[in-house]
Structure 1
């Protein structure tokens, strides 16, 4: 046996060295699922190229035949490894099982058996001879039936692999199409070249394209692994992770152009993916922050941005991360957009509720302090009222006796003078009695004794008990369905009396006093209106406070007592007033079902 290095063998040497480096790289990353199939493919390729190198480097026919047989150990493994790798890469993992592996290995195993035992049956190679016309002394084969079974099997396997890769190419985004194209090249260049060589239709005489094709293929494998990270990140991972993420994911290149995006990001932008890929993001999404384009090396976590989407303005937490390419350069970025609009709304609502709660606590604290102050006032008022009531009763009794004395013989002048004094004294006594009543009503617990009360008689009795000047016109209106109603007539009359007196005092030059009763839903509305001077706007919130008054005479308990009585009925009292036009006090008292039915 003599050895002579053929020029055909040199590409195998270079490819073998690169394949060895690639195998070492894949071995370091063998935890990645497809790596075992890459290792199998490249190891089989290394065996094929080593055997081919020795076959081309000897001129001895038996040695060439031996290395041809050894070479088939790699040839039969490569299609299996590629097919299993493509199944894994394309996401068809349900077919990756022991049964599939055994099925696709049956023909290769039989082929290897036929090759190893060809000298006994010549089913694979009918004859093998040395081509002395070729300066590189290649072997000429006349193939048998076993070879054509193998040939048909490889052809079928190539078609299956091509179908899977073309489907994947159509479905993949731009970011991964280069990897798919690389796999198409890796699969079909050596496969088609080998088939051409087998049927003896090389493009040039004495040139076997399969030798160069396999060498270049494994050079391309090394290039794909290190430049395009083939096998490190596969589209299947993208489908499982990126496509199913609830956050928007956008990949931008160095020119701020959209390279890839997931369905959530496309939905947020509201433009079809085909109209977004390859375009600058700030051109297709006008609300995109311009400063994002400057973030090449930064990672920003938790940055909030406001972006206009097709369904309105939304708040996003933005994460910008650089992508390091195979040369170590950072010229691309991944932008993750997490919609926090709902969270912001909840935070704003919680903040507003907190502020309202703080204001309420402050108001309640103020009211508590006022209540404590009023409790002291109430206690004092109770004592004052008790102490003042006795001499006041004495004054009233004396007035009664004095009036009786008036029936005695007096001159007309003395009689009129004394009568005037007694009248003034009686008015002062009544005023003092009102002060005492207001003090005691405000200080003591309010007890309501509701009874079924007719409204019109109540209003008329109230007005008749009050001295109203002739210059004031009184109108009483009771709407249909307003009575009867369940309320405490004595306390309600007390409220109406205070309101009517105030209305009369607000019209010193006369005017219109209107008292109306009506029903709204399940409320009884009693309204006392006047056309008097009105109440300044700054005093409207104060008039129901105890001790607040704008009158020269008065302690400011009248309206405070009215408010307590109405609230004791479960209702509330409102005031509407315009300076110079008059005021209206509206009492709302809930009507029970029994009274409403009647």
Structure 2
């Protein structure tokens, strides 16, 4: 005996579920337009067609009308598994199967079965015999199935189970932090499968009505709720595959009990562990061979550090970051561990440090050599100058006087070079105490050392009314002024017009800038960056420069914590500047 209530309930639920699911899903498609929501809409439409025409079949007043609506409903019955599979393939990232040249094969059986339904009277391949049983006010329609029906059943079950398997597998592989999203996927995938299995097994013989289309509608509605409430299509399990699995960084996820729930292929390969062997185990157990990492994880806190792990027979260095995994309510669901391999960078840094140490050692050797050579040359040059001066005193020959004068001039120039070489080597190696500078006095002493050149060239020098206070080492700063003033006298206009100045830079920099401006022809742009290197002269054609002065300036100022530079528009003279820490701001 059949229960009429099962048919009444179907007729009540069918329009309600159809209207609700269609309304919600169509609204979803407008609000969240995307390929997955569009395929979910197609699924909802096939289910709605199945429900509508199945209801008309049940409510038909004659056997002929019931058969007609049954035939029409097969268009949607056969397409629903195809739409379900299309959604599952898209959602799980298997989009290559959605290409037309591949996916069209899934339509072959629906087309054949639907055509056989409309032409069944000619061949009885779908239904061999119709049986109509009055149940209260309803005309229950049952049939003896033919071979095409079983073809449809096999095809539909393969598609439905494949789609369900893909979705459930992806849901189970996602992080525990997304458990709510995973639950929507599992429920949405299993509801129609379980319902249809119940119908085929028929454990209650009195219940004959197939509620599979309603279960499909409920499934689509559950997935829609997942989209609206938890943005199911924004953070999909497939995103985990595309992003996490393709990461070059090592990634592990742990639950609140410290058990590993996920890791990516990079972590498996580097740590030489397999996911299937360690998922579900605690970090202490799973990472026993990497005790340092296990200890960081066991500390259970936010971590940013560098660690080294040994595998592949050598040490590897990693940037380690451990952060909390939070759910939508901000509650902790576990830990996310990310390790970025920085071995190449650390090795490059070590190599660079090695080269820097070698370079520093060579520089010390060169300074020592220059100091030794300059020191050893100083006494012989002094003796040569002394003999030349003695020769001038004892000789009355004019030619001898001229030769002696040239020897003396060359000797003084050699003494200048020697002194500068000695000074250059001392600046690099010697540490001096800095103190407040009396810049006006220092500049006056520098000018006094050059008074003969100033007088001879009839140079005009302008000084500022006040000098901002700075810190430095007075003898060294005097050498800076001497070199800058000497260059301005040599390469400035004729007669030289020289302006000295100073200014406090922006308060944030806490530095004072001093400068010397000349009225020369300026310096070509391609030579400005090289001026402060060894043996670079302002004027290549000049014979009285040896290219040490500005390199001494650079070394002195750098040692005192300042900078040097030049501003030189061609044809408008040059402004050479240097900076020093302002008084009260030295380190």
TM-score with structure 1 length normalisation?
A: 0.50
Instruction: Give the distance between the partners of 1:209 and 1:329, measured in 2 at CA.
Output: 45
Structure 2: segments with no counterpart, 5+ residues = 1-5, 176-181, 391-417, 419-587
Match for residue 142 of structure 1?
Answer: 143
SS in 1 for 2:174: helix
Instruction: Give the distance between the partners of 1:127 and 1:327, measured in 2 at CA.
Output: 58
Match for residue 154 of structure 2?
Answer: 155
SS in 1 for 2:317: strand
Correspondence list, 1:526-545, <5 A: none
* 1:207 and 2:207 aligned: yes
SS in 2 for 1:293: coil
The alpha-carbon deviation at position 180 of structure 1 amounts to 8.0
The alpha-carbon deviation at position 363 of structure 1 amounts to 4.9
The alpha-carbon deviation at position 105 of structure 1 amounts to 1.8
* 1:281 and 2:286 aligned: no
Instruction: Give the distance between the partners of 1:266 and 1:136, measured in 2 at CA.
Output: 65
Deviation per CA, 1:95-135, whole angstroms, max 9, x where unpaired?
Answer: 43324443332332233334446678876456656422x34
**Alignment RMSD, CA only?**
4.5
The alpha-carbon deviation at position 64 of structure 1 amounts to 4.6
SS in 2 for 1:6: helix
Instruction: Give the distance between the partners of 1:18 and 1:135, measured in 2 at CA.
Output: 29
Match for residue 218 of structure 2?
Answer: 219
The alpha-carbon deviation at position 339 of structure 1 amounts to 0.7
* 1:188 and 2:190 aligned: no
Counterpart selection for 1:8 from 4, 7, 10: 10
CA contact (8 A) 1:306 1:315 kept: yes
Deviation per CA, 1:351-386, whole angstroms, max 9, x where unpaired?
Answer: 443354345435534543443333212323567899
Instruction: Give the distance between the partners of 2:46 and 2:331, measured in 1 at CA.
Output: 34
CA contact (8 A) 1:27 1:39 kept: no
Instruction: Give the distance between the partners of 2:13 and 2:196, measured in 1 at CA.
Output: 18
* 1:50 and 2:55 aligned: no
CA contact (8 A) 1:172 1:235 kept: yes
Indicate how the Cα distance of structure 1 residues 49 and 84 shifts in structure 2: closer, same or farther if over 3 A, else same.
Answer: same
Indicate how the Cα distance of structure 1 residues 124 and 38 shifts in structure 2: closer, same or farther if over 3 A, else same.
Answer: same
CA contact (8 A) 2:321 2:339 kept: yes
CA contact (8 A) 1:51 1:67 kept: yes
Structure 1: segments with no counterpart, 5+ residues = 389-442, 444-598
Instruction: Give the distance between the partners of 2:160 and 2:218, measured in 1 at CA.
Output: 21
CA contact (8 A) 1:125 1:142 kept: yes
Deviation per CA, 1:281-330, whole angstroms, max 9, x where unpaired?
Answer: 255333232487334xxxx8xx4331534456543224556656577755
Counterpart selection for 1:131 from 126, 130, 133: 133
* 1:294 and 2:301 aligned: yes
Instruction: Give the distance between the partners of 1:55 and 1:23, measured in 2 at CA.
Output: 26
CA contact (8 A) 2:54 2:70 kept: yes
Instruction: Give the distance between the partners of 1:5 and 1:204, measured in 2 at CA.
Output: 15
Indicate how the Cα distance of structure 1 residues 6 and 309 shifts in structure 2: closer, same or farther if over 3 A, else same.
Answer: farther
Report the number of matched residues.
370
Correspondence list, 1:201-350, <5 A: 202-208=202-208, 210-211=210-211, 213-224=212-223, 226-227=225-226, 237-285=239-287, 286-288=291-293, 289-290=296-297, 293-295=300-302, 303-311=304-312, 314-319=316-321, 325=327, 331-350=333-352
CA contact (8 A) 1:189 1:217 kept: no
Instruction: Give the distance between the partners of 2:237 and 2:359, measured in 1 at CA.
Output: 53
The structure number with the bigger radius of gyration is 1
Deviation per CA, 1:320-350, whole angstroms, max 9, x where unpaired?
Answer: 5665657775524543321112202212332
TM-score with structure 2 length normalisation?
A: 0.51
Indicate how the Cα distance of structure 1 residues 81 and 191 shifts in structure 2: closer, same or farther if over 3 A, else same.
Answer: farther
Match for residue 72 of structure 1?
Answer: 74
Indicate how the Cα distance of structure 1 residues 56 and 319 shifts in structure 2: closer, same or farther if over 3 A, else same.
Answer: farther
